[in-house]
Structures are given as structure tokens and as C-alpha cells.
Amino acid sequence: MQLSKAWILFSIFALILAGFLSLFIMLGRTPYINEWMFGTEWMRRILVVHVNLALTVSFYAFITGLFLVIPSSQTHVNKRQLISFGLALAGTLVITISGFIPIGEPILSNYVPVINQPFFIGGLCLFAISLIFTFFDERLLPGINKYQQKSFSHYPISIIPILQSAGIILIIGLLNFLHAFVVTPLELSQNVYFELMLWGGGHVLQFTNMAAATAIWGLLFYTTTQKHFVRYRTSFLLFVLYTLPLCFTPFLFIEGTTVPLYITGFTYYMQWGIFPVITVVIVIVITKMIKNRNYFKLSTLLSNPAYAGLVWSIFLTISGFMLGAMIRGSNTMIPAHYHATLGAVTIAFMAGAYKLMMFYGYPSPSQKRKRQEAVQIFLFGIGQTIFVSGLAVAGTYGLARKVFGEEQLILSAEIYFGLGLLLIGGLTAIIGGILFLRNILRYLMGSE
């Protein structure tokens, strides 16, 4: 439990650091204000570090913490687990520092942007190795009997197959990165090289993110109702169906990474592989919430953080699916789609973190604290929704993605309006992130 707690807290502080850096990114997109910034190259460097802290370090550290709560025969922390945690800390420190070293070009490749310098790449590799060391573990093996023998007060066994699915898919994604590294031609330009090398694994990791968010939905539903949203066997079957297709991703590398099979294959995997099972889960959760509406009253939305987290996470997931279907060309509708989806994952993790604090032995919060936690989630959800709306509006009227400052071609009042929404929503979400840190620090300091 102490190691799980360490990974969760590590994840939280990485997310807060990423949120702090996002302030500079928003200012770099804001008309007039961006003229005071340090230049587009510096902005891209900070953007790379921000994305990796928020979507790589924070997400997979949190998933690791969840994974380590799955029962196993181990009764103490072994040396391999300690080494893996140390590697994760070292890799994250290197990633952060590298953003302030003016060496290497920032490459805004999809899913995993990089800075083309050995320092940054080495930090990413250290973090990836730490995940491999942790997830190659007996916890990946199914077996309801061994779980039924354990006592869970805050951790339903119905989410264990979902977490195992997330772990297996994470390993598949990392192996895809390695495979792409081996077969991608070095003579390509650095932009094309990194885009191709990171394309396949980056798509696979989105399956991991949504599986982890779904597991948190099960946790939030359980802590609110003391009921499982699905049976263990149903959960197991659904996420076997979710995971199994990804075992065939190596076939997309048959002709290398420079052919349409590789590019379109992974695109179709994400387009058609995530939403069927996740949509089934959403329908099940909403149906169960209606059946248990005594626990899910509108009047308690701002007093129950688990309820608030469940609602906002599902809402943003559905929004992300809808925005993804609306993508036409390379504009800010694309980041609107993934900020909605990844915002849904972030909110799930925030609400889940509050519940895990009790699992780690911290006292249950007072009703006042619960209201503050629910308001924090509500504020972050509102901010993320406005932020996503701004990106969607600007993208609808043709604003290109991955441009900042003078590079932005603002050709209409609608784009100005969208960028205004982006700033308002982003600042609101940052306030929500700061309040999240405050709430977590209260648990750690034992204060009310």
C-alpha cells in the first residue's frame, strides 16, 4: 500500500506541475499577450514537457498506483519495485529539466511529443523501463478465487479485470514503440521520424487511458452505492474483448512504418476499437445510476465528489467521442477531441484519488470537505468543457493546430471568440487543479 500511495502522489504532483506549465501555453496562444512571451521555440519546448508530464508521467504513474493495489502473494516491497519507482522519479526529473535546456528541436509529434536531444529521450526511456519493471508482475494474471479471499472496503473486485487490461495494453504499447524504433528508417527527417516511430504506440496507449478511467468509474460507483456496476465475470469478458484485438498490432509493422497500412491501421484501431466497449460500459453505468437514483440525486451532485467525478468524466468522454467524429482536417478540432477525452480521464483520476486516500488509511473527510472536493471537480469539469469548446469553435472556423503567437492566422471574430473561451476555460481548469492539490495536501497534513 505504501508503494501504491507513493506512485499516486507522484502522479498528482506531476499533474500539478504540468498544470503550472500550461499557463504559459495558454498565454502563448492568447492574442496580444503572446507578444510578451519568449518566442515560439521556447513555447514548443514547454509544451512538450507539459504534455509528457500531464499525459505520460501523471497518467501512467496513477495507473501504476492503481495496479499495485491488486492482491498478490507479495507481502513486502521488493527490490525490483523500488528500483522501478526510482527510475520513474529520475526519468521525470530529466524530462522536466530538459525543457529548459536550449538544445535540440521540439517535435510536436502526436501523442508523445519529444525534444530531439539525448537528455529528453533518455528521461522518457527511464520512465518506460520503470513501467515495464512494475507491470511484468503476477497481478496481471486473472483469478477471481484469489480476489474473493481478500477483504476490500474501498476497492471492488469488479474493476480488477479492467486494471489488468490497462496493464496488458500498456505493455503492448511500449513494445510497439520498441518495434517502431527498430524498423523506422533513420534517414527520414526528424519530424517524420518521430511521428512515425511514436504513432503506433501512442494510439495503443489511448486504450490504456480509457480502461483506467473506466476502472475508476467502477470504484466511484462502488464507493457511492456499495454495489458493483458489473459482475466480475462480465467485466472480465468485456475487457478481454477490449484487449484482444490489440494483440494483433504487430501485423501492422509487416511492411514497416512508412506505409499506409501502419498509419491507417492504427488510426482505425483507435476509431473503432475504443468506443464500442466503453459505450457499453457507459450505458451500463448510466442505467445503474438511474436504478440507484436514491444515491444519485441532483441535489447531492455538489456534495459527493464520487458522484461529481462520475458525471463529469462520462460527460467529457461522450463529448470526446462526438468531437472525434466531427474532425475534418488538421485544425484545433483535433486537440478539442483529445482534451475532452483526456480531461475525462483526468477528472476520473482526481475523484479516484480522493477515494484512495481513505484506502491508504487517511481519515474519512467531513461533509464540508466532501462539498469542497465536489466543487473542485465541478470547477475543473466546467473549465475543461469551456476550454474544449473554445478549441472546437476555433477549429470549426479553420484555426490550425500546433501554432502559437505570430504563427496563428486569426481570420475571423469567431476564432477570437474561440481563443477567448480557451483562455477562460483553461484558467478555470487551472484553478480547479490548484484546489485539487490543496485538498490532497489536507489529507497528507491531517488538517481539516
- pLDDT (tens digit, 9 = 90+) per residue, 284-330? 999 999 999 899 988 888 899 999 999 999 999 999 999 888 877 77
Q: What is the mean pLDDT of the chain?
A: 87
Closest CA to 258 of 186, 349, 331: 186
Q: Is the pLDDT of residue 49 over 60?
A: yes
Cα separation, 1 vs 65, in Å, equals: 9
What radius of gyration do the chain's Cα atoms show? 21
Reported as a pLDDT band with limits 50, 70 and 90, residue 391 is confident
Q: Is the pLDDT of residue 147 over 70?
A: no
Cα separation, 313 vs 267, in Å, equals: 24
Q: Which helix (H) or strand (E) holds 114?
A: strand 114-115
Residues 6+ apart with CB under 8 A from 298: none
Residue 239 CB neighbours (<10 A): 25
Classify strands 114-115 and 106-107 as parallel, antiparallel or unpaired.
Answer: antiparallel
Q: What is the DSSP string of 330-369?
A: SBTHHHHHHHHHHHHHHHHHHHHHHHHHHHTTPPPPPHHH
* CA dihedral of 401, 406, 407, 412, whole degrees rounded to 10: 60
Reported as a pLDDT band with limits 50, 70 and 90, residue 402 is low
Helices (H), 108-253: 118-135, 144-148, 160-183, 190-225, 232-243
Average pLDDT over residues 29-55: 72
Cβ 392 vs Cβ 336: under 8 Å: yes
Average pLDDT over residues 40-52: 82
Q: Is the pLDDT of residue 404 over 70?
A: no
CA angle, 19 then 355 then 152, to 5°: 145
pLDDT for res 11? 94
- Length of the chain counted residue by residue: 448
Cβ 245 vs Cβ 273: under 8 Å: yes
- Summarize pLDDT for 153-210 with one digit per residue, the tens: 567 888 999 999 999 999 999 999 999 999 999 999 999 999 999 999 999 999 999 9
- Summarize pLDDT for 94-139 with one digit per residue, the tens: 999 998 888 889 998 888 999 999 999 999 999 999 999 999 888 8
Cβ 289 vs Cβ 281: under 8 Å: no
Cα separation, 126 vs 215, in Å, equals: 27
Query: Which 8-state DSSP code applies to residue 409?
Result: -
Cβ 290 vs Cβ 356: under 8 Å: no
Cα separation, 36 vs 219, in Å, equals: 45
pLDDT over 90 percentage in the chain: 57
Residue 434 CB neighbours (<10 A): 16
Q: Is the pLDDT of residue 406 over 50?
A: no
* CA dihedral of 433, 438, 441, 447, whole degrees rounded to 10: -160
Cβ 98 vs Cβ 119: under 8 Å: yes
Which has more pLDDT, 91 or 391? 91
Cβ 162 vs Cβ 213: under 8 Å: no
Least confident of 112-116, 212-216, 418-422: 418-422
Cβ 256 vs Cβ 179: under 8 Å: no
Q: Which residue has the cell 478555470?
A: 428
Contacts within 8 Å (CB) and 24+ apart, 261-268: 262/196, 262/199, 262/200, 263/199, 266/199, 266/200, 266/203, 266/204, 267/203
Cα separation, 39 vs 15, in Å, equals: 25
For the entire predicted model, the pTM comes to 0.89
pLDDT for res 420? 83
Question: What residues does 331 pair with on adjacent strands?
Answer: 400
pLDDT over 70 percentage in the chain: 88
